[in-house]
Amino acid sequence: MRAGYTTRQKKPSDIQKIVRVRLVMSFSLSAILLIVYAFYGFLLSAGKDLAQLSILGEVNLVIVMSLFSIFMGVFISGYYSWWSKRAIDPEIKRIREEKKHD
């Protein structure tokens, strides 16, 4: 059979498009968080000179990066939840309504 679509198999459905968009967003946000955590791990293990850099009195770069890592984890989780409710959930509801009428 050729690479085209059969009569049972249509072009990519709305659900497949939603899944693709969700995966791209999820992987992008996870990559950002991974970069933040990797830099934090670098500071803890190999970047002693950089980690001891004083930012504000007794506060050094490791403490700032620790707080930033925690903030980024919470922010990215919250952003993904907000984005999902705004962009994905209405599309899922629309698809469910269309399936009920089919």
What's the whole-number average pLDDT of the chain? 86
Mean pLDDT of 15-20: 88
pLDDT single digits (tens) 38-54: 999 988 888 778 888 88
Main-chain dihedrals φ then ψ at residue 47, nearest 5 degrees: -95, 55
CA dihedral 49, 55, 57, 62 (to 10 degrees): -60
Residue 21, C-beta contacts closer than 8 angstroms, at least 6 positions apart = 87, 88
- Write down the pLDDT at residue 10: 52
Report residue 29 as tokens. Answer: 């946000």
- Write down the pLDDT at residue 15: 84
The pTM of this model reads 0.74
| Calpha distance 93→15 (Å, rounded) | 11
The percentage of the chain sitting over the pLDDT mark of 70, rounded to a whole number, equals: 87
